[in-house]
Each structure stands twice: as structure tokens, then as C-alpha cells.
Amino acid sequence: MNVTQQVASLNDAQQRAVTAKPGNYLVLAGAGSGKTRVLVNRVAWLVSQGESPYSIMAVTFTNKAAAEMRARIEALWGSALQGLWVGTFHSLAHRLLRAHWRDAGLPDNFQILDSDDQLRLIKRICKELELDDSRWPPRQVQWFINGQKDEGLRPQHIETHGDLFTQTMVRVYERYEQACQRGGMVDFAELLLRAHELLRDQRPIREHYQRRFSHLLVDEFQDTNAIQYAWLRLLAGEHGQVMAVGDDDQSIYGWRGARIENIRRFDEDFAGVETIRLEQNYRSTSTILRAANELIRHNTDRLGKELWTEGDEGEPIQLYAGFNEHDEARFIVDRIQEWLEQGYSRSDVAILYRSNAQSRVLEEALIRAAVPYRIYGGQRFFDRAEIKNALAYLRLLNQRDDDASLERVINVPTRGIGERSVQLLRDCAREQGVSLWQACRLAVEQRRLPARACGAVADFMGLLDELEVRCANLALHELVDHVIAATGLIDFHRKEKGERGQARVENLEELVSATRQFDPEESPYHDQEQELAASPLAVFLDHAALEAGDNQADRYEESVQLMTLHSAKGLEFPLVFMSGVEEGLFPHKMSLESGNGLEEERRLCYVGITRAMQRLYLCYAESRRLHGSETLNAPSRFIGEIPRELIQEVRLNARISRPVSQGLFSSAARDVPEGGFALGQRVLHKLFGEGVILNYEGQGAQARVQVNFDTEGTKWLVLSYAKLQAL
Ligand SMILES: Nc1ncnc2c1ncn2[C@@H]1O[C@H](COP(=O)(O)OP(=O)(O)OP(=O)(O)O)[C@@H](O)[C@H]1O
Ligand SMILES: [Mg+2]
């Protein structure tokens, strides 16, 4: 099919956008209405009309989306397009700086500083400035510097108003800039800022690109920040033609500086803007679409759009009330397996969640069922840096001579043992043929390090020895809880500003939850053999090492996709689960503290719902152990904002109903598959007395139940041995 035929297959509004005469356009439309498709078609159409690919630049949100966009454009056109620029704001800015390094004031071999390198540099500067890092956490400084750059501000532009905090931050920012300049290093935010300054200050270069790029096309325009917007304006100049494509209802990066107002400003800042609205949705069933429309109607600050579809009504949205997070995960994985049997492919399925830490329980359920999965745009739980740090401390507790773990955390959180000292320790270990831990001891005894480092190493060793004593009689989950607090890891991340720090703290707390099942008395896996073989800590560490291994589905293997709601933007899947749709988790409790936080959460929910093409499941857990503590959450208000008639509650077994329900609707019921017991049922055990069944695990001879006994606490019991009596 050639380009003209392709364009003819679009609807009228889409065709109008694709074939629009030269000018500035805002394509404002809801999810799944073909905005990205319009953009792709517009590029191919421009080329088919004789425009040179050299004159076209298309910007999108992630590298992956950019690669996909180029592939789709070239597929439409039928061959590769030389000279066409497609990328993210960052990659395009980078390209400009590489081409004009001299004019941008950079060395020709300038390096990109990733976020970890940036943090390391900031730490060094804070130290030089003798800033106490408990008062001035380097991560907070990093957040500050990047935030200023995103607003286009250099240190000299920042008003300090005599405020000590700002003054100090600006002082670090200045030094940091000097260090980057000296070392020829450019961080991510700097790419945008510097490319902006290059175009702003170097008239010949600006005019060259303004002449070259007569067509600028931007996808996901609602999530551009101040500097990206400014950059776009400069590049467009007086004559450039911009087509900005976006959806105000999907603006979900306000917390990272994105400006939804850019949509409104576009009209004022660019000449003769014509707004084109696309209203037909091609992605979802009418039920899913109605749910999304009704939900987003609860937001006040909207530009207002309607979406309709010719598609089928489809099935109602399924709502599942999990008894707890394990039950929720099990339910999800059971459904996935059913679909796979029906012939769906694994890559048709996405599981979306609000917060990173939620992935752990889902990952475990998938691993147990041997369903390959990938975490899109993120890392598996046990691969995350903060988790690896905590595990390194735990490994050291277990085995001091574990050099890799020691190196990992000897200076995390920062305690004044710099790279030079670590090198001295390595040398000493090599000379003496001992472990790093032994080398630490020697170095302290023989004062082989500078006095400050010596003191710090001695403190570090003291910390581990003390932890060992303190933890001797703790249950595994208490031990982990104690270790992440006493080592300062929790505080270290808590001081980081923004979602990232918050996510790390949540992950660490989730690690505590993860260890509970390894405590003998709570463990469904527990048996005597295991107890004789190894401590729960050792068993857990092995488990973590295996899980962090090569379990992630290989790149080309079909796999179920797990991702946060944020990274699901722009994507679509036939089958979608949204898990953890609970008050406090989604909307996230942190969001309720800021004025428009709730509306941004609702937009995120809208993004989630509109990812689904055929089937959508909303799941929540009546009780959830997340980040180490157990909470009883009400179902999210977002569920209540979807019309009742669009939702069907899943009842796995309606015979027995649960006594406790936090549900909006009548509680869904579920019984234990073997033995005829129900969750929530009271039972009698010969030794432990009366209790309530909380959970179950496995089937047949493997079936175990967790019972909360009135006097003996919570225990996991093998059902076939326990001889429970129903009460
Ligand atoms: N005219 C059309 N005919 C058939 N299918 C279409 C048409 N327009 C779009 N689609 C399909 O609808 C789906 C959604 O399109 P697209 O991803 O471009 O929407 P979008 O508006 O960019 O969504 P989002 O807001 O989620 O980014 C895609 O599968 C696309 O191929
Ligand atoms: Mg899109």
C-alpha cells in the first residue's frame, strides 16, 4: 500500500491532520485516537509530497518509541529515509552538540554523565565544600541542579533571597558546573539546556537549523517541560511549522517539571495555530472507553474532549478483590495461564502497577508458574541498586569475607571512605593474600590509611559486628528491618527528593516483606530439613541470588510485560491488569498532599485503563503487606468513579462468603481448593487451639494454610497433616 492509500484509510479528522497545508497545528485528542499514527503518516505524506526528509524532525518520549516511530515511517514510505531526524529531546540535543561542540563551548570528546556518575561528582564537591551530607544530602542537591536546568536556569540566574538553603545549593551548582566544564562532561539536563543556549546565542547556527527543519513534529506534547518547550520555539523560529500532538488528560509527569500549560501556551506562542481534534478511538472496546471517559470526567482542569468508538461493547471490566497481595498475584497469573491456553500470546498481556515495589509479589507468582516476563523500562526487584545494597549488608553479616559485597557498601551511605582508601585496602588484601574484611582490620591496626579514613573503616567494622550481636535473636524479617535502618540505608534514600527516593525507600521496606516467608513460623516452605541445613538468612540470600539471576525472559522471547503505569504511556495491549487499585496506593498517599496531585493520579489511571484493547481487569487486595507493613486498604476511589454497570465482580466461588470485606460492593468469595476450608473461616487445631484461616498456598499434598491462632499467633501448616477442624 502506498502512502496515499494509507492516508485514505484514515478517518476524516486524521486525514485533515496528515494532509494539512503548511502551518502550526495542535492535534489534541484522547487516548487511542490515532495521534501517534497521524504523526507517522504525516511524515511519510510530507515526503511523498516532495518535502526532503532533511527538513523533518520528529520528537517523541522514549528511545524505544523513537525507534518504533522511525520503523513505522520507513515501512509506510517503503525504504529508509536519509537525513530524517527522529529521536527524543535528549538524543536530538545530543546530536546538535556533537555537531557543534566548539560553538557550544565543549571539547570534541565530551562525555555524557549518567545519573550515577553525576551523583558521585556531586558528592565529591559537597565534600570539598565541607558540607555535611546528612544536612545537605547529595541526592537532594542533584534534584535541585537538574530541576534548575530543566527550567533553563544557570547559577547566576537563581534568586537566593538570602536564603541559606538556596545559597548553598547554588554554591554547589557553581562548582559542579566548573567541574563538568573542566572534565568535558555533560549531564542529561545539560544536553537540553546547552543545546538551547547554542541555538539562542549562535545566530548562524540557529538560522541554519531553522531553515533546515521546516517541519517539527512532537508526540506526547503534554509532557514537555519548560526547557524542551523553549528549545522547540527557538528551532521553529518564525517560519518553522510545528505539529504538536498530545492529550492533556494524559499529562503524568508534572512531578518532574512537565508543563501541561504548554498546550495552552502553544496557541499564543505560535502563529495561526489550528487545533484538530480526533474523537474516534480505535483501540478499546466501548466498555473500556466509557469507563475511561467517565473516570476522567471527575477532573476539573481539562480542555475537554470526547471519545467514541465503533468497536464492540466487549466484556465488562472485571473487578477482583484479592484477599491479600498474594491472592491478587495468584489470581492474575491464573487468568494469564487460562488465556495462554486459549491461544493468546504472552506479549498480549500487561500487568500495570502504581509503584515499583509492587512488582516483587507479581514476579514471584510468575516465576513459580514458569511464565516468562519482562519488566518494561525498569529493573527486576532483586536487581535494583538499593536492594543490592541491602543484600550486600546481609551477605556481609553472613560472611565477612565476601569482597564484592564489602566493596559495594563500604561507602554506602557515604561515610568518608573514598576511592583512594578502597584502592589501598585492595592493595593490602592482595599483598597479604587476605579478604578485604581482613585487610580492613590490618589497615586499622597498622594505620595504613589516612586518619579519617581509618576511623571510618573502624566504624564500618564496628557497625557490622554490632549488627551481628543485635540481630542474633531476631526473626529474619526483623533482622532485615533492623539492618536497613541501622546501616542508614533507609535514611539515605529518604533524604532523596522526589519519586525516585520514595520508590527506593518503598523497595527497601518491601524487602522486609519479602523475607517474611523465610521465617520458619510463617513460611509455607519451611520444613525441618531446611532448618538443619541453613539459617533463614542464608536460605533467603540464595533465593535472592537466584531471582536476580537470568530469570528475566530473554529479549526475543515472548513474555508478559510488567511495568509501572508511568512507563505504559503510548503503549497498547489486548489484555491488561491494573493491580493494587487501592486507596493510599493508587491514588498514592503522597499525591494527596499536593493540590493537583489527585488529578494527576486520576490522569495516570486514565492512561492505565486506556492501554487495554479487549479486556481490562482491576485488582485490589483487601489487605496488603507492602513496604514492610500490613495495611487494610479500601478499594480506590477511582473504581467508584467508573459506572457500576460497566463493572463485573469476579467471584471465584460464590458458595462461601468472606466475613471481612472492605469492598465497595459485596465481597467476592473464595475458598481453599482442597479440604473444603474457606479463607476467613474459623478452625480448631489440636495443639494450637482456635484460629482464622488467612491464606493458602499450593495444592494437593502440598497444600498449606496460614492460620492466625487466637493465642499462638500466625502459623503455616501443611493441610494434610494439620487435621484442622472447621468451626
Ligand atoms: N483510522 C484508523 N483505522 C484503524 N485503526 C486505527 C486508525 N487510527 C488509529 N488506529 C489504531 O488505533 C490504535 C491507537 O492508535 P495510536 O497509538 O496512534 O493512538 P494515540 O492517540 O497515539 O494513543 P495514546 O494517546 O495512547 O498515545 C493503534 O492500534 C492504531 O493502529
Ligand atoms: Mg500515542
| ipTM of the complex, rounded to two decimals | 0.99
Does some domain include residue 300?
no
Q: Where among 649, 670, 697 does a domain terminate? A: 649
Question: Kind of pairing, strands 647-649 and 682-685?
Answer: unpaired
CATH number of the CATH domain containing 144 = 1.10.10.160
pLDDT of residue 520: 63
Report the mean per-residue pLDDT for the chain: 86
Q: Which of 41, 282, 613 is the pocket-test mutation for ligand 1 (most atoms within 8 Å of CB)? A: 282
Closest to 328 in 3D by CA, of 296, 365, 354, 357: 365
Tell which atom from ligand 1 comes closest to the C-alpha of 278: 21
Q: Where are the beta strands (DSSP E) in 291-447?
A: 317-324, 349-353, 373-375
Q: Which of 18, 36, 37, 220 is the pocket-test mutation for ligand 1 (most atoms within 8 Å of CB)? A: 37
The helix/strand/coil state of 218 is: strand
How many whole angstroms from 284 Cα to the centroid of ligand 1?
10
Tell which atom from ligand 1 comes closest to the C-alpha of 611: 26
Q: Whose CA is nearest to atom 12 of ligand 1?
A: 282
Tell which atom from ligand 1 comes closest to the C-alpha of 247: 25
Q: Which ligand is nearest to the CA of 613?
A: 1
Considering the candidates 150, 190, 220, 481, report the single residue annotated as catalytic. 220
Considering the candidates 6, 118, 142, 250, report the single residue annotated as catalytic. 250
CA distance 417 to 456: 6
**Cα angle 131-133-135, degrees, rounded to a multiple of 5:** 85
Q: Which of 15, 36, 69 is the pocket-test mutation for ligand 1 (most atoms within 8 Å of CB)? A: 36
CA distance 543 to 565: 28
CATH number of the CATH domain containing 407 = 1.10.486.10
CA distance 169 to 524: 51
- Helices 476-486, 536-548: axis angle to 10 degrees equals 70
Residues 167 and 197 in one domain: no
How many whole angstroms from 81 Cα to the centroid of ligand 1?
23
Q: Which ligand is nearest to the CA of 611?
A: 1
Considering the candidates 6, 14, 36, 228, report the single residue annotated as catalytic. 36
pLDDT of residue 598: 93
Q: What single string gives the DSSP state of each residue in 508-535? A: HHHHHHHHHTTSTTT-SS--HHHHHH--
Does some domain include residue 141?
yes
Specify the length of the chain in residues: 727
pLDDT of residue 658: 39
CATH number of the CATH domain containing 600 = 3.40.50.300
Contacts of 124 (CB under 8 A, 6+ apart): 179
Residues 417 and 526 in one domain: yes
CA distance 250 to 248: 5
Amino acid at 325: E
Q: Whose CA is nearest to atom 8 of ligand 1?
A: 34
Q: Where among 226, 250, 278 does a domain terminate? A: 278
Residues 596 and 640 in one domain: yes
Does some domain include residue 85?
yes
Amino acid at 371: V
Which cell goes with 319? 473487578
Q: Whose CA is nearest to atom 14 of ligand 1?
A: 32
Residues 263 and 334 in one domain: no
Does some domain include residue 143?
yes
Q: Which residues are annotated as a binding site?
A: 29-36
For the chain, the first-to-last Cα distance in angstroms comes to 70
Residues 237 and 207 in one domain: yes
pLDDT of residue 680: 72
DSSP H or E segment with residue 655:
none
Phi-psi region of 518 (alpha: psi -120 to 50; beta: other; left: phi over 0): alpha
Dihedrals phi, psi of 557, to nearest 5 degrees: -75, 140
Cβ contact 35:27 at 8 Å: yes
Contacts of 166 (CB under 8 A, 6+ apart): 158, 159, 160
How many whole angstroms from 208 Cα to the centroid of ligand 1?
35
What are the distances in angstroms from CA 303 to CA 30, 253, 257, 280, 300?
Answer: 11, 18, 20, 17, 9
Residues 217 and 251 in one domain: yes
DSSP H or E segment with residue 175:
helix 164-183
Does some domain include residue 304?
no
Q: Which ligand is nearest to the CA of 60?
A: 2
Closest to 709 in 3D by CA, of 723, 688, 727: 688
Question: Kind of pairing, strands 185-187 and 111-113?
Answer: parallel
Contacts of 664 (CB under 8 A, 6+ apart): 634, 635, 639, 640
pLDDT of residue 532: 40
CA distance 515 to 537: 8
CA distance 579 to 350: 10
Q: Which ligand is nearest to the CA of 568?
A: 1
Residues 220 and 177 in one domain: no
Does some domain include residue 485?
yes
Residues 206 and 134 in one domain: no
pLDDT of residue 531: 39
Farthest-apart Cα atoms in the chain, separation: 88
Q: Kindly list the strands in the beta sheet with 725-726, ordered across the sheet, starting from the edge strand earlier in the chain.
A: 713-718, 704-709, 689-697, 682-685, 725-726
Cβ contact 56:43 at 8 Å: yes
Closest to 614 in 3D by CA, of 375, 371, 349: 349
Closest to 618 in 3D by CA, of 658, 664, 558: 664
* DSSP classification of residue 260: T
Cβ contact 354:586 at 8 Å: yes
Number of domains in the chain: 5
Q: Where among 261, 278, 295 does a domain terminate? A: 278
**Cα angle 232-233-238, degrees, rounded to a multiple of 5:** 130
Residues 178 and 200 in one domain: no
Q: Which ligand is nearest to the CA of 283?
A: 1
Q: Which residues line ligand 1 (CB under 6 A)?
A: 10-11, 14, 29, 31-37, 247, 250, 282-283, 570, 572, 610
Tell which atom from ligand 1 comes closest to the C-alpha of 9: 1
* Count of beta carbons in the 10 Å neighbourhood of residue 80: 10
Residues 117 and 211 in one domain: no
How many whole angstroms from 525 Cα to the centroid of ligand 1?
47
Does some domain include residue 658?
no
Q: pTM for this structure? A: 0.75
Q: Which residues are annotated as a binding site for ATP?
A: 29-36
Contacts of 480 (CB under 8 A, 6+ apart): 390, 394, 511, 512, 515
Amino acid at 154: R
CA distance 159 to 180: 22
Which cell goes with 69? 516511530
Which cell goes with 257? 517539571
How many whole angstroms from 343 Cα to the centroid of ligand 2?
27
Cβ contact 482:467 at 8 Å: yes
Dihedrals phi, psi of 566, to nearest 5 degrees: -60, -40
Q: Whose CA is nearest to atom 9 of ligand 1?
A: 34
Considering the candidates 187, 219, 223, 506, report the single residue annotated as catalytic. 219
pLDDT of residue 142: 92
Dihedral sign, CA of 598, 604, 606, 612?
A: negative
220: annotated active-site residue: yes
611: annotated active-site residue: yes
pLDDT of residue 557: 65
How many whole angstroms from 220 Cα to the centroid of ligand 2?
7
- Segments in the chain below pLDDT 70: 1, 116, 377-379, 498, 520-534, 542, 545-557, 652-676, 696-703
Residues 394 and 514 in one domain: yes
Q: Whose CA is nearest to atom 15 of ligand 1?
A: 34
> Which residue range is the domain that position 595 belongs to?
317-378+557-649
36: annotated active-site residue: yes
How many whole angstroms from 246 Cα to the centroid of ligand 2?
8
The helix/strand/coil state of 251 is: coil
Helix and strand counts by DSSP (H, E) for the chain = 28, 21
Tell which atom from ligand 1 comes closest to the C-alpha of 610: 26
pLDDT of residue 652: 63
Cβ contact 506:390 at 8 Å: no
How many whole angstroms from 31 Cα to the centroid of ligand 1?
8
Q: Whose CA is nearest to atom 25 of ligand 1?
A: 31
Q: What single string gives the DSSP state of each residue in 352-381? A: EESSGGGHHHHHHHHHHTT--EEETTS--G
Residues 356 and 388 in one domain: no
CA 556 to mean position of chain CA atoms: 22
Tell which atom from ligand 1 comes closest to the C-alpha of 220: 27
Amino acid at 30: G
Amino acid at 581: V
CA distance 305 to 17: 17
What are the distances in angstroms from CA 220 to CA 14, 25, 92, 365, 572?
Answer: 17, 14, 16, 34, 15
Does some domain include residue 591?
yes
Which cell goes with 376? 518494561
